Amino acid sequence: MDSNDIKNLINKDISALQKQNKETAHLFVEPLLCEFEDFCGNELNLWIILKKDEYMITFNQKNNRYGLAFTNIFNTQVFMGEYKSLSDTYDNLINQKE
């Protein structure tokens, strides 16, 4: 899969989120496949689809699930976990700031 395939796959979810949260439009990025590490030290290849400060929303093409990640002080991308939907993932991203 390439970035266009990912965009096509998640376009419906992005549109729904943008209708619900207008401020998200500028946060979406061209999907970029990157390596992440989870809290158990496992390496994961996930697509970054949204960035806000050091946090990002990812998409796992293997199970079509969205997740939340961040860049730590060592500049390592750390995967925090998956959520039910893009909207749930975005809500959790916002709650990281509070």
Mean pLDDT value across residues 27-54: 95
Quote the CA–CA distance of 54 and 81 in Å, as a whole number. 16
Average pLDDT, the chain: 92
Mean pLDDT value across residues 56-84: 95
Res 98: pLDDT: 53
Mean pLDDT value across residues 1-5: 90
Quote the CA–CA distance of 1 and 81 in Å, as a whole number. 22
CA distances from 70 to 22, 37, 42, 52, 78 (A): 22, 10, 15, 9, 5
Res 78: pLDDT: 97
User: With bands split at pLDDT 50, 70 and 90, how would you rate the model's confidence at 23?
Assistant: confident
Task: Evaluate if residue 20 carries a pLDDT over 90.
Answer: no
